[in-house]
Amino acid sequence: MHPLTAEWISKAKGDFATAQRELRARSSPNYDAACFPAQQCVEKYLKTRLQEAGQVIPRTHDLVVLLNLLLPVEPAWTHLASDLRARTVFGEAFRYPGFICRPYNGA
């Protein structure tokens, strides 16, 4: 594993832990505050795979752009496009008025 890959993984795990802490808050959980690090976790794992594939990692938060760069090395990931499109919104929209992040109910 490339040393930079380990750094990407460490940062992704940190984002995941941050999102989990907020989702588990017993008093006044802030779901908006969980959405952003959740999106960041996915972004960093996609960039981790780009790093391992020896590709240039672009400065973008668009998960679909990252997926499209990965499809030549991970063609089976095509089915992730619609989910990643929805999760890209988490990177910005929920940080500003007009959008509300709600807990996932499994539906």
Q: pLDDT 10s per residue in the chain (107 long)?
A: 888 999 999 999 999 999 999 889 988 888 878 888 999 999 999 999 999 999 999 999 999 999 999 999 999 999 999 999 988 876 666 666 666 666 555 54
d(CA 3, CA 8): 9
In the structure encoding, which two tokens stand for residue 84, read together?
């990643």
pLDDT computed for residue 107 by the predictor: 44
Tell me the whole-structure pTM to 2 decimals: 0.83
At which residue do the structure tokens 């380990």 appear?
A: 6
Residue 61, SS3 per DSSP: coil
In the structure encoding, which two tokens stand for residue 78, read together?
């095509």
